[in-house]
Structure 1
């Protein structure tokens, strides 16, 4: 998971709220298709082109508006609060996925909100540890909220794990030399490119936060092997 830094809501949304806040249908269901598209456009830009939960590539027409606090648990006005909205796969009216927003459904209830690691929470990215196999676990084994969030979002569902593994394999291998064959120099350059992109504007590479961890682990592995060889008689 990558931390999302929320910006300003689109002007259309601010204007609509000002004009409709006294009406009985002041809720998400009252938003027009054009209004929702404007929100999606803002969210995709804000999230640097990555799904809030999975890190998959998203565009305006390939995602939907996801409520961090489920609509079924929202109080008046909460389902149109911009800070409660993120963009995620898939697009509306498409087949159900076994992970992400579809898997999350109406979780968490209010009583379990403490078990949800939101992509808006500070430092959320460091709480998830991605393995080279594509699987993910809590960085701290005692972090019950991260473990529960992984389960509730289906972040270890086979299809999503395979997508991450394919991205990791493509990053760590040199064509014709097998898995994890990238050398430390190339790994550092690739890592620097990802870190530099994070500090700039524009879309990020899908699973960029996963690839960063994979490269860091590859560099550590190579350095450990080098140190071991130096210690040999």
Structure 2
């Protein structure tokens, strides 16, 4: 999970709120298609083209607007609060996925929000540890919220694990030289490129936060081998 830094809500949503705040239908379902498009566009931009929960590539056509606090548990106005909105796979009216927003469904209830690691929370990325086989676990086994979030979002669903594994393998492998064959100089260069991209504008690579961890692991592995050889 990559930390999302929320920006200002789109002007179309601000204008809609000003016009509808006093009306009985002041809720997300009353937003017109144009308002939702403006919101999705803003979300995809601030999320750097990555799904809020999975890290998959998204654009305005293949994602939907997800509520961090589920609509079922929102009070008046909370379901149109821009800070409660993120973008995630898949697009509306498409087959259910066994992970991400579909898996999360109406979790968490307000009483369980302490068990949800939100992508808006500071340091959220460091609470998850990705293995080279694509699986994810809590960085601290005592972090009950991270453990619960992984389960509730289905982050170890086999299909999603395989997507991450493929991205990791492509990053660590030098063509024709087998798995995890990238050298330390190339690994450091690739890591710097990913870190530099975080500081710049524009879309990020899918699973970029996973690839950073994979490269750091590879660098540490090579350093240990060198140390052992003296």
- Identify the TM-score tier after normalising by the shorter chain: over 0.9
Q: Deviations over 1:151-200 (max 9, x none)?
A: 00000000000000000000000011110000000000000000000000
Measured after TM superposition, the shift of residue 35 of structure 1 is 0.7
Determine the structure 1 residue equivalent to 2:79. Answer: 79
Determine the structure 1 residue equivalent to 2:70. Answer: 70
User: How do residues 95-174 of structure 1 correspond to structure 2 at under 5 angstroms?
Assistant: 95-174=95-174
Determine the structure 1 residue equivalent to 2:209. Answer: 209
Instruction: Give unmatched runs, 5+ long, in structure 1.
Output: none
Q: Find the aligned partners of 2:78 and 2:125 in 1 and give their Cα distance.
A: 25
1:35 aligns with 2:35: yes
Measured after TM superposition, the shift of residue 111 of structure 1 is 1.1
Instruction: Give unmatched runs, 5+ long, in structure 2.
Output: none
Q: Find the aligned partners of 2:138 and 2:88 in 1 and give their Cα distance.
A: 22
Q: Find the aligned partners of 1:145 and 1:52 in 2 and give their Cα distance.
A: 17
Q: Find the aligned partners of 1:18 and 1:32 in 2 and give their Cα distance.
A: 15
Determine the structure 2 residue equivalent to 1:221. Answer: 221
Q: Deviations over 1:8-37 (max 9, x none)?
A: 000000010001000000000000011100
Measured after TM superposition, the shift of residue 212 of structure 1 is 0.2
- Give the TM-score, by structure 2 length: 1.00
Q: Find the aligned partners of 1:13 and 1:112 in 2 and give their Cα distance.
A: 29
Kindly report the root-mean-square deviation, in angstroms, between the aligned alpha carbons of the 2 structures: 0.3
Q: Find the aligned partners of 2:141 and 2:51 in 1 and give their Cα distance.
A: 25
Q: Deviations over 1:37-83 (max 9, x none)?
A: 00000000000000000000000000000000000000000000000
Q: Find the aligned partners of 2:122 and 2:181 in 1 and give their Cα distance.
A: 34
SS in 2 for 1:117: coil
Q: Find the aligned partners of 1:216 and 1:152 in 2 and give their Cα distance.
A: 27
Q: Find the aligned partners of 1:5 and 1:113 in 2 and give their Cα distance.
A: 19
Determine the structure 2 residue equivalent to 1:7. Answer: 7
SS in 2 for 1:60: coil
Q: Find the aligned partners of 2:205 and 2:185 in 1 and give their Cα distance.
A: 20
How many residues were matched structurally? 230
Q: Find the aligned partners of 1:179 and 1:109 in 2 and give their Cα distance.
A: 43
Q: Find the aligned partners of 1:16 and 1:76 in 2 and give their Cα distance.
A: 15
